[in-house]
Amino acid sequence: MSSSTDPSAIGWDYGAMLSTSGSTGDSSVFSTAMFVSNSSVNVTDAMAGAGAQTHLPLEVEMAVAVVNADPCKYCDMKYHKARAIIWAFSVVIIPSVSIVGLFGNISSILVLYHQGLNKSSNILLMAMAVGDIFFLLGTNNILDIWRTFYKTNITHDEAKAFYFVHTFQNFCMELGNGMSVLLVVLVTLERLVAVYLPLKFTAIIRPFRTRIAVVVVILIAIFKALWGFIVFKFSYNQKKGVPVIKWTDFFHDNEEFFTHMTGAYDYILGFIPVLTVCAGCILIGVKVSIAAANRAKMLSSGGEKGAAQKVPRNSRTTLTLLSVCALFTCTLGVGFCLESLMTPEQTWKYYIIRYKVTFLLYTINSSCNFIIYVGMNKNFRDTYLSILMPCGVRPTNQKSQLVRTSTYEN
């Protein structure tokens, strides 16, 4: 699932928008970007008859160009109402969620670093927090927002700076998206081993192996993120006063390769992770439910002595990480399904759902893990409080002091 496929988040003039692939609804950034060509068309003028006097979201420009500048394709909602909704998502809602997410992920890194990375769970959560930070840094390109909503024409120097900022943020977003998606898969597999093969867990899941897996994930994500530097180049439309993205000669020489790689990444970062995490959540949930039922029977038959038993730390860790996987399914999984199942239409409703609602879901996925950790794991919460209040009250019992060694136990 390519979270960077929102064309309005790019804010570029893509030229004549002549499709070489014949598809406007593919979830891939490269099938979307197939509309690029070296000629240009003033789509804003073509839309003037519909009352659009200002810069349009790029996806609308693309769609209008593809249908020979027929403005009636966007008649399901008044332009100014649609623009207000898009503005709310782009300028208020998504940036607000991102700010909360950045604070939460930075806090998670501080806590996990404080605990040490001697557990596989901690290593995975640390890497996820870093990936989420990269994604959130790339979601809110201030220059893009300024260009799209507040200024229609910019100088060549402004356009060049705009291009480099956009390229860097797009790299961060692609890198973070790839890391977040694949790391949740690793978390799911790690917990499956923990709940179904507890006696073999320490032999199978080791910190060294986990670090190697994280490095592989990072390399896969970096390779995908670097595409923007390889296949796009900067240009400037002097007449319209806007930056222009064009394909590089390297892309034209290797177009078939990039087409195949795009299809491969649709599975690597889309179908496979979503299905794996969904299935893993079900299997882990079933096992946790059975264990909880057995524990309840033991407590009921053990009287007061049994009632004094606490939930094993392994179960608390599993519930915490299961919640992370469930969040992934309910946000990123749902967003991916919307991308894949929605029929492409030249309507405002399609644009808002396909590019703004799904992008908000991806942002929520990268922003809420810290809330899960604090809400569901007492050890994590105690450690976080001890960092915020180093001179304050410390946990008094010996078990609570163990949080200084490791947040999660396998």
Q: What is the pLDDT of residues 266-301, one digit of tens each?
A: 888 888 999 999 999 999 889 888 887 887 788 777
Of 357, 352, 320, nearest to 112 (Cα)? 320
Place of tokens 């399609």: 350
What is the three-class DSSP state of 237?
Answer: strand
**What's the confidence (pLDDT) of residue 208?**
94
- Mean pLDDT along residues 18-40: 31
366 in Cβ contact with 101 (< 8 Å): yes
Please tell me whether the overall predicted TM-score, pTM, comes out greater than 0.75 for this model.
yes
The angle that helices 156-196 and 120-139 make with each other, rounded to 10 degrees, is: 160
Residue 1 pLDDT > 80: no
87-116 per-residue burial string, b: 16 or more CB within 10 A, e: under 16: eebbbeebbebbebbbebbebbbebbeebe
**CA neighbours closer than 13 Å in the CB half-sphere of residue 224:** 32
Among 39-43, 80-84, 131-135, 294-298, name the most confident range: 131-135
**What's the confidence (pLDDT) of residue 379?**
85
Residue 2 pLDDT > 70: no
Strand runs (DSSP E) across 127-241, as ranges? Answer: 232-237
Place of tokens 């990268």: 366
CA dist., res. 113 & res. 105, Å (int) = 12
Residue 162 pLDDT > 90: no
| pLDDT tens per residue across span 327-384 | 998 998 898 888 888 877 778 888 888 889 999 999 999 999 999 998 888 888 888 8
pLDDT band at 144 (very low <50, low <70, confident <90, very high): low
Q: Residue 63: CB partners within 8 Å, gap ≥ 6?
A: 24, 73, 74, 346
Weakest mean pLDDT among 41-50, 220-229, 256-265? 41-50
CA dist., res. 125 & res. 336, Å (int) = 23
Read off the tokens for 378.
């007492």
What is the three-class DSSP state of 244?
Answer: strand
The angle that helices 272-301 and 313-328 make with each other, rounded to 10 degrees, is: 150
**What's the confidence (pLDDT) of residue 333?**
87
Q: What is the identity of the amino acid at 15? A: G
CA dist., res. 243 & res. 4, Å (int) = 18
> If you average pLDDT over every residue of the chain, what do you get?
75
Residue 15 pLDDT > 60: no
CA dist., res. 10 & res. 40, Å (int) = 17
Structural domains in the chain, sorted by start: 3-68+78-404 (1.20.1070.10)
Residue 16 pLDDT > 60: no
Residue 221 pLDDT > 90: yes
CA dist., res. 40 & res. 241, Å (int) = 12
- Mean pLDDT along residues 379-395: 74
**What's the confidence (pLDDT) of residue 391?**
57
| pLDDT tens per residue across span 100-128 | 999 999 999 999 999 888 889 899 999 99
Q: Residue 212: CB partners within 8 Å, gap ≥ 6?
A: none
What's the full length of the chain, in residues?
A: 410
CB-neighbour burial class of residue 233 (10 A; exposed 0-12, middle 13-18, buried 19+): middle
**What's the confidence (pLDDT) of residue 180?**
92
